[in-house]
A and B are shown apart, each in its own frame.
Chain A
Amino acid sequence: MSNAVAITKSQEREGEKTKSFLARNKYLILRRITQIGILGLYIGGNYLGWKILQGNLSTSKFLEVIPLSDPYAVLQMFFSGAIVGVDVIIGALLILAFYGLIAGRAFCSWVCPVNMFTDAANWIRVKTGLHKEEKRINIPRSTRYWFLVLGLILSPILGVPAFEFISPISVTHRGIIFGIGLGWTLILAIFLFDLFVVKNGWCGHLCPLGAFYSLISKPASLLRVGYDLNKCTECMECKRVCPEVQVLWMIGKENKPVLSGECTNCGRCIDVCPENALFYTLRFKKSGGDKNET
């Protein structure tokens, strides 16, 4: 009996190859288009005076009127004791509402430019099987929450928004738009850290901005990755590619959508799943029946 199941599973795994390249990389391609597109709009905003998106990820103006601000940066400014303009507060609330209520931690995988570099490092890791031989350095994933709090504690002590002051995300994004200087060394450092030191080291372990978006998207964000246990063949492809593996704890166990705020909604698991057992869904939508029902 169990033999028969194993055979069907291996057959199903063969079926994975029939999924076309585009289908296997749909969300990855869409993500890169979004990331690069947004960067392009910003670059055009600076060099060519385009009015669609001007500024950078810390604060920008959308269509010249709507302010958009990094809520964590604004929070640090409050902590550093600054009375800031109304614009950035509105902007921060808009962004907070967008990710907190709708998109989840999508900032990290769909917008943040650092993601492209860390993804590249991770891709090389998976391709080369680097992590099988490497000396494992254990940094807990909770470190980022300590950094998140530390950023807020240091802001009043140093009298500046502490993380915003050194943020590699800001340095990268600002650098791409306005000129990078020696900022590339920081990008290289993160790339090498992710490649040789810790798998998904920066985005998944250290980045306080990612931690911030994790926290705000945990309670209510609508867009989630759904999971159908019935379709799952437990090939574990999803876990191989997921940058935040711990959020996929239900694979093969429970019929539940991914509800952890740490999920970046990157959709890579959806891409690679040969059985379409993973898919984008809405938080409160019931998806898939119980295993017992079938």
Chain B
Amino acid sequence: MTDKKPDPKRRKLLVGFLQGIGFSIVGGVVWSAIVTENKKDPLVLRPPGAYPEEEFLKKCIKCGLCVIACANRENVPFDRQGNKMVTLKLATPGDGKPIGTPYFIPRQVPCYMCIDIPCAFACPTKALDVELLRNEKGEVDINKARMGVAVVDYNSCIAFWGLQCDACVRACPLMYKAIYIDVRRNRRTGKHAMLVPVVDPDYCTGCGLCEFACPTDKPAIFVLPRDVALGKIGKHYVRGWMETEENVEEKIKEREKELQKWQPKTPEDYLNTEDLLNE
């Protein structure tokens, strides 16, 4: 019966333990808040071969080896002041991006799409995984990178005024694939063509060379993360023709080839199209 008095030693230990727990919970809440706030930047653009953001943040150890590989490759361009133009940088506190993770801002320095992809091969944790960059032949191919997707703001793109600007198309490493020129009637003059850039998200790698090249004050074509810019159809819409017709893919390819013929090669070509001559 006398044993019922709490052992002061045990009591002290227990209280100490509870204090530790309490302190940890307070610390943990603050800590979690900082991390969760810091984790959120839906517009961050990652190097080629990066896993989707959530997986990427788990794997990236923030060592900067990709940045070093990017900065020390052979063909780094220089700006007019003679400074190295390094695409990748590590986020510092104040950048508003997950601290220490690699990212790039295409308008400052785009990704130059090195064929040997030094950044992805440098990653020791496979947060950038070259396996994600394999093409149909099984080769590692920078064109399989999906860093983001270019989006055109028609209202600020001067090609939509009818001016002939194809800066973005020319800059595109996958010219006429990732960005192609769509010939449209200029409704203002009635007889001229508008050569407007159109992005094909199936090919666009998100390198941002178009955004870098765009001559408008604030680029009319810019790269957004794919999950931000692209929609998703869902399973409740079915393309019946894909299921009933045979060899649809091949047919589409053939038709695309036919359409390629319509791509203007010289100004005369598009000015002399039947469509315009009939007017």
Contacts and interface: CB of A to CB of B under 8 A. Distances in A.
B31 A174 contact: no
Given A55-B68, A165-B98, A91 B124 contact: yes
A151 B99 CA distance: 17
A152 to B, nearest CB: 11
Interface in B5-35: 20, 23-24, 27-28, 31-32, 34-35
Contacts of B55: 82
A174 B28 contact: no
A224 interface: no
B72 interface: yes
A164 B61 contact: yes
B156 interface: no
Q: Interface residues of A: mostly helix, strand, loop or mixed?
A: helix
A60 B64 CA distance: 9
Nearest to A84: B125
Given A49-B72, A147-B27, A181-B94, A56 B64 contact: yes
Contacts of B239: none
A88 B93 contact: no
Nearest to B95: A181
A160 B39 contact: yes
Contact of A161 (B32, B58, B65): B58
B230 interface: no
A249 to B, nearest CB: 20
A125 B155 CA distance: 63
A263 B27 CA distance: 26
A61 to B, nearest CB: 7
Interface in B33-84: 34-36, 38-39, 54-55, 57-59, 61-65, 67-68, 71-72
Contacts of B64: 46, 55-56, 174, 177-178
Interface string A120-157: 00000000000000000000001100110110011001
B279 to A, nearest CB: 59
Contact of B100 (A87, A143, A157, A170): A170
Contacts of B28: 150, 153-154
Contacts of B27: 146-147, 150
Q: B27, B59, B62, B63: which has the most chain A beta carbons within 10 Å?
A: B63
B263 interface: no
B35 A82 contact: no
Interface residues of A, number: 56
B126 A59 contact: no
Nearest to A48: B72
A149 B54 CA distance: 23
B124 A161 contact: no
Nearest to A156: B58
Given A60-B63, A77-B59, A146-B20, A85 B92 contact: no
Interface stretch (A2-10, A66-74, A252-260, A281-289): A66-74
Nearest to B71: A46
Contact of A87 (B38, B71, B72, B124): B124
Contacts of B123: 85
Nearest to B123: A85
B92 A158 contact: no
Nearest to A87: B124
Interface of A: 45-47, 49, 54-56, 58-61, 67, 69-70, 73-74, 77, 80-85, 87-88, 91, 142-143, 146-147, 149-150, 153-154, 157-162, 164-166, 170-171, 174-175, 177-183, 185-186
Given A46-B71, A186-B93, 8 more contacts: A45-B68, A46-B67, A59-B65, A142-B20, A157-B32, A160-B57, A170-B62, A171-B100
13 contacts: A46-B68, A49-B71, A55-B64, A56-B63, A58-B61, A69-B61, A77-B59, A84-B61, A154-B32, A160-B58, A174-B62, A179-B89, A183-B93
The 4 closest A-B pairs by CB, nearest first: A181-B92, A182-B94, A59-B63, A82-B58
